[in-house]
Chain A
């Protein structure tokens, strides 16, 4: 177990180092001098500004030293300063994170509960009407771009019915829940198809296995067979898929946040690209890659807890 953990962590650190290097070196890929790129707006180019940028990014040093100094700063929580907001990027990020994390948490609850129940329902009525309605419906919803789904929800539930606010993230716990309800639904709808399909597939596979037949021959009821045996054994792939979807969501709230005008990390990313605030762009990309990686590794580590056989197999390999 520890060997597996160490190997996974090593791979994660390596990937993180490479991807952070890619994010850092991107300033050199930009057309023109990195100084003018980092300053962005040509009107802002003053000798003081150039000196400040040179000092902050250590542009007079060799490339790898620059990267090492930048990475050292990042590891100490120094993500640089936003030129646009004139405040440390770390403060900016931490003020925006709660909205995004709440949104992702709400969406996750929704897609796990709805996706798994839809998958169970269609697996139980395999080949029937309910099954084809669920499969067809979720596949259709999956093909609609999420910003269109979001706008559809806004126009029906916020503009026509006035059940929910149109934009903003609300104050207080209840206000925030109400404000984030529509965005969370819009975010969750896109992943329903995937989750329900994986649930359905693994459950259908399980149902044909001998142990289910054995349980049935003992005279166990359908409900207890489904919950105790079929669902329990299909948990592995379902949890993995839910985890991967959640990881993707941490980095994929940008579109939904800008539809609903939420002041989260995703909308900050769009703003900072529009204002050429590259320090912020770098920090957000780094956060998203890190969040994605941490969640996928957590999922990997949870898997053996659900199915101890995988641990034995991977140790032998």
Chain B
């Protein structure tokens, strides 16, 4: 372990100490993510009911043996909808992150490698994206290309790309200053090959930790878009959309249909953040 990581640990001392003292939080969070992924993969097998099967004799049913988490305004089983909703929720966040990473890493690496005017142009381009605070850029894209899960994912991906580009550019610049890069260049390795085969693998560990933390953020923002009705449309049981549909019940005193999916999002995001911070601590030993 180098001196730098020691400094970083001092900076976040209480957090690190808490994690050290209780590795079970980390394991619990990994377990939560595992359950979420399993639900997404095996949804039709494990869900007790179909996500869209209505039962008008059990509307707003409280949790009980028939419906473990109760039912919503159409008598649909909340647990089943939650399990089926894991797939669109997680896949959406993964897709948006994959798109943003492809774009952001490309921009960041090219900017760091070419420097000069390419760097300047790309920096201005990302600056314009930063001028749109929060979700505004996504909202513009949705206003133009109409609502839908694909638009929401692509829009969010475009909004996340500058963040990743900035981060990648910073770590790539640091990496490019290392002697091994010069050594490869002396051997006559071409630019594209050098970046793809030698530079990117070395950036990966730092990048992955950052991406896991961004995943939580992406999941939350996507859920917010779906809550506003801009992303997935009914009868999808995406979690943000479930909160939106359960909203009407809150005023009548039926809290479950809105709060259960909401808390699910929160728990998954918290778990992702804990795992992400731990991963970036572990993976970034080299820097």
Contacts and interface: CB of A to CB of B under 8 A. Distances in A.
Interface of A: 15-16, 18-19, 22-23, 26-27, 29-31, 37, 126-127, 131-132, 135-136, 139-140, 143-148, 151-152, 154-155, 159-160, 166-167, 201, 247-248, 250-252, 254-255, 258-259, 269-270, 273-274, 278, 281, 285, 288-289, 292-293
Nearest to A159: B253
Contact of B247 (A131, A151, A273): A151
Interface string B236-268: 000010010001001101010011001101100
27 contacts: A15-B128, A15-B131, A16-B131, A19-B128, A22-B140, A23-B140, A27-B144, A29-B145, A126-B14, A135-B14, A145-B240, A145-B269, A147-B243, A148-B266, A151-B243, A152-B262, A159-B250, A159-B253, A248-B133, A251-B136, A254-B139, A255-B228, A285-B136, A285-B139, A288-B136, A289-B133, A292-B133
Given A19-B128, A26-B143, A155-B250, A143 B266 contact: yes
Contacts of B253: 159-160
B143 to A, nearest CB: 5
A100 to B, nearest CB: 14
Given A27-B144, A289-B132, 5 more contacts: A148-B262, A151-B259, A248-B133, A269-B139, A285-B132
B33 to A, nearest CB: 14
A292 B15 CA distance: 32
A1 to B, nearest CB: 24
Q: Which of B17, B143, B250 has the most CB of A within 10 A?
A: B143
Given A285-B139, A285-B140, A288-B136, A140 B262 contact: no
B92 to A, nearest CB: 14
Interface stretch (B111-119, B186-194, B201-209, B219-227): B219-227
Contact of B250 (A154, A258, A270): A154
A143 B243 CA distance: 16
| Highest count of chain B CB atoms <10 Å: which of A140, A152, A166 | A152
* Chain B contact residues, majority secondary structure: helix
A252 B228 CA distance: 13
A148 B255 CA distance: 11
B174 interface: no
Contacts of A131: 14
Contact of A252 (B11, B17, B135): B135
A252 to B, nearest CB: 5
Interface of B: 11, 13-15, 17-18, 127-128, 131-136, 139-140, 142-145, 147, 216, 220, 223-224, 227-230, 240, 243, 247, 250-251, 253, 255, 258-259, 262-263, 265-266, 269-270, 273
B142 A145 contact: no
Contacts of B230: 273
Contacts of B223: 145, 147
B250 A248 contact: no
Given A132-B14, A144-B269, A274-B229, A259 B247 contact: yes
Contacts of A293: 131
Contact of B143 (A19, A127, A143, A281): A281
Central interface residue in A22, A37, A148, by most chain B CB within 10 Å = A148
Given A30-B145, A148-B265, A270 B228 contact: yes
B224 A145 contact: yes
Given A135-B15, A252-B134, A254-B228, A147 B143 contact: no
B142 A273 contact: yes
B227 A152 contact: no
A288 B2 CA distance: 45
A148 B259 contact: yes
B13 to A, nearest CB: 7
A269 B139 CA distance: 9
A273 B136 CA distance: 12
Contacts of A166: 251
A93 to B, nearest CB: 16
Contacts of B240: 145, 147
A151 B255 CA distance: 9
A63 to B, nearest CB: 16
Nearest to A127: B14
A248 B134 contact: yes
A247 to B, nearest CB: 7
Nearest to A29: B144
Given A15-B128, A259-B247, A132 B18 contact: yes
Nearest to A277: B143
A140 B270 contact: yes
A255 B227 contact: yes
B133 A251 contact: yes
